[in-house]
Structures are given as C-alpha cells and as structure tokens.
Amino acid sequence: MTNEKTDFGFREVDVAEKSRLVGRVFDSVAERYDIMNDLMSLGIHRAWKRHFVTNCGFRPGNRVLDLAGGTGDIARLAIGRVRPGGQVVVADINRAMLTAGRRRLDDEGEVAGLQWLQADAEALPFADRSFHGVTIAFGLRNVTHRDKALSEMFRVLKPGGQVHVLEFSRVDLPALARIYDAWSFKALPRLGQMVAGDGESYQYLAESIRRFPDQQELAALLGQAGFERVAWNNLSGGICAIHRGMKA
C-alpha cells in the first residue's frame, strides 16, 4: 500500500483518488464548460487559443495529438491547418467532455480528419513516433503525474516534432494579480453555481491554477522529460503562458 499524496486544489489527497475527483468535476461541468469559459475569461480564452494554434506551425499532412481536448476548441482550430491529408486525434480521459465536444463539432460539420479517443495522458495508446505535434490546453494541471504525461508526449512525437502547452500560470504584474485573485476566488465559484449549478468544481479549478508550476518550473519539467529548445511566452500578463519544446 502507498500513502503517496498529491494536490487536488488546495487539498492533499491520495494519488489514487485524484483522477476520480477530477473526473467528477468534469462530469459535472461538461455541458456548461464552454459557456463558463466565456464567462470566466470574458471571452479572452478564444483569442488565447487562436494565438496558440496559429503559432504551432502545423502544416498540411501533419498528424497532431490534442490531449485533454474534449471541448474540441483546439481541434477545430488545428484541423484546417493539417488538411488535406492530415489528422487531429482528440484524446481526453473524460468521456462526458469528449461527448460534448464531438457533438458540437459534428453539428458544425467538422468531421473529416478528426478522431476522438478516450485515453489517459499518462499511458497513451499510441506507438512511438506517431505524431508531428502534441498540444494540451488547460489540461496539464489536472493530470496526476505530470512527469509521466510529459514523458508520454515525448515518446509519441516524431523526431523534430514539438509539444505545445497552453496553461494558466503566474501573473507577473502585482496590481493585475490582486484583481485576478479576487475574480478567481470570489466571482468564479458564484458564476459556477449560477450557470453550471456547481460552485465547488469551479472553486477547485481556481485552486488548481494556483497549485500549478510557474513558467520556469514547467519549463524545467519539459527539459526533464527530454525536450530541447524549451521556451515560453506569457499571455495577458502571465494569466496564462504558452510553453514549447522540441524532440531532437
């Protein structure tokens, strides 16, 4: 038996318990997740994601893995860049999120070149060197063993391929940080309760951002996983950041 602990927001829980708790959060919020993203970020998350994908360097014929991609936001932006001949595989451990995202893209007629798969980022069901690029947007902080997930991303990338991580990070402007904290811990749980009927899950999401490694720490984790030319750039004063690394 192991007593290994990990973070679940500001709580410490058994490692074996975290995936169940995170799963319960996303089961609860899946149907209202997109609406809440717009409300939480005042719509800015859409600009962040467009900038993120625009700078991934995807080309026609590329095969891309989008992890924690159940909303379909990144897949929708990426698929047009890899057609013709390319593919975006959307993988998410949460079935409810996958179902909601796939239904939305199917309704929009975005079908060709997309594959949807329930999968664990810590144990990807793909052969070595399967993808030209790997993306994960606002999902890495919910993974129990981030080092395992990053190692798996490295494994499935082709030589010369890149990982692209979009994640909330550390605000580098003190005045903005105070406003951001008040918004995160006072407004978001109330919005979550009113719109999604679940303030507790949005309390966790706010807490999980604060527990996530900062820009330099995440860059170090990417290097430990084997990635080279690791770099990052902040968006909106560090509210979120884009990290990239290459497999040589």
How does pLDDT run across 72-98, given as a tens digit for each residue? 999 999 999 999 999 999 999 999 999
Query: Which one is predicted more confidently, 4 or 230?
Result: 230
pLDDT band, very low/low/confident/very high, at 2 (cuts 50, 70, 90):
low
Which domains, ranges and CATH numbers included, belong to the chain? 5-246 (3.40.50.150)
Query: Which one is predicted more confidently, 70 or 118?
Result: 118
Mean pLDDT, the chain, whole residue set = 92
Reported pTM? 0.91
> Is the confidence at residue 215, as pLDDT, over 90?
yes
Beta pairing partners, 167:
241
> Is the confidence at residue 13, as pLDDT, over 90?
no
Q: What DSSP string describes the chain? A: ----EEEETTEEEEHHHHHHHHHHHHHHHGGGHHHHHHHHHTTHHHHHHHHHHHTS---TT-EEEEET-TT-HHHHHHHHHHTTT-EEEEEES-HHHHHHHHHHHHHTT--TTEEEEE--TTS--S-TT-EEEEEEES-GGG-S-HHHHHHHHHHHEEEEEEEEEEEE-----HHHHHHHHHIIIIIHHHHIIIIIS-HHHHHHHHHHHHHS--HHHHHHHHHHTT-EEEEEEEEGGGTEEEEEEE--
Are 92 and 118 a contacting pair, CB within 8 Å? Answer: yes
- What local confidence, expressed as pLDDT, does residue 185 receive? 86
pLDDT band, very low/low/confident/very high, at 99 (cuts 50, 70, 90):
very high
When pLDDT is averaged across residues 31-38 and rounded to a whole number, the result is 79
> Is the confidence at residue 50, as pLDDT, over 80?
yes
Residue percentage of the chain with pLDDT more than 90: 67
> Is the confidence at residue 244, as pLDDT, over 60?
yes
- What local confidence, expressed as pLDDT, does residue 1 receive? 45
pLDDT band, very low/low/confident/very high, at 34 (cuts 50, 70, 90):
confident
- What local confidence, expressed as pLDDT, does residue 120 receive? 95
> Is the confidence at residue 234, as pLDDT, over 60?
yes
Query: Which one is predicted more confidently, 2 or 127?
Result: 127
- What local confidence, expressed as pLDDT, does residue 3 receive? 66
Whole-angstrom CA distances from 122 to 43, 68, 140, 148, 156 are 31, 11, 11, 5, 12
**Per-residue pLDDT tens digits for 186-202:** 888 888 888 777 788 88
Q: What are phi and psi of 58, to 5 degrees?
A: -70, 150
> Is the confidence at residue 133, as pLDDT, over 90?
yes
Query: Which one is predicted more confidently, 71 or 122?
Result: 122
Supply 115's token pair: 């594959």
